[in-house]
Amino acid sequence: MALVFNNVTVPQSGEVRFNNTALSSVKMGSTEVWKRQKTVYPGVSVANTQNLGYAAYFTVTNSGSDIKVDAFGGTERGYGRVMLGGFSTIGYSKLFFANLSISLSNSFSHAKVALSDVNGNVVQQLIFHETGEAGGFSITYASSDIFTINAENGNYYLMLEVASGATGGGLHATIQMNGCYLI
């Protein structure tokens, strides 16, 4: 939510200062009317990519404003992850995604989004979906889907992981995202 003060609009990505101190939120009485937002992606780069399956069946496409992590089943399992960051969550307790889409068209597939270290060790899992024998799943997360940050350290990477079973050529496990924000 943007803050309008003396006909000046301050976006969530902006800064409000009081007595030369940057504020993380502004309240009117007991009602919060503005909260600072920090952009994680776009902004942070790909820090590490791990191909955990058959190399030809895992790809990462990053335009800088949109990232797509894709594993596709063929004669072998497509499986991999990408870590974006690092970034600090200190001073923030929640995060949300702008148009994070997960599509699992293959059986025995999964998609995971988590806070991790640079090597892909999960610190806090945010999203996990898997298909069984039948396959077929699709969901989109938007700014209204808020995730609480439970981990203590504050220095993380955003891990996007996909795995697609080897049961059907050309079927995919995909995560596509064009924004991650701390609030």
pLDDT for 168: 60
pLDDT for 142: 94
Q: Residues near 7 by Cβ (< 8 Å), separated by ≥ 6?
A: none
Q: pTM to 2 decimals?
A: 0.84
| Torsion angles phi and psi, residue 52, rounded to 5 | -105, 0
- Residue holding tokens 């940057």? 22
Task: Tell me how far apart the alpha carbons of residues 9 and 44 are, in angstroms, rounded to a whole number.
Answer: 26
Task: Tell me how far apart the alpha carbons of residues 52 and 75 are, in angstroms, rounded to a whole number.
Answer: 15
pLDDT for 21: 76
pLDDT for 10: 66
* Cβ atoms of 108 and 132 closer than 8 Å: yes
Question: In order along the chain (183 residues), what is the average pLDDT of each group of 10 residues?
Answer: 68 70 77 81 94 87 96 86 95 92 92 97 96 88 94 90 80 94 92
pLDDT for 106: 87
pLDDT for 35: 73
Task: Tell me how far apart the alpha carbons of residues 27 and 15 are, in angstroms, rounded to a whole number.
Answer: 14
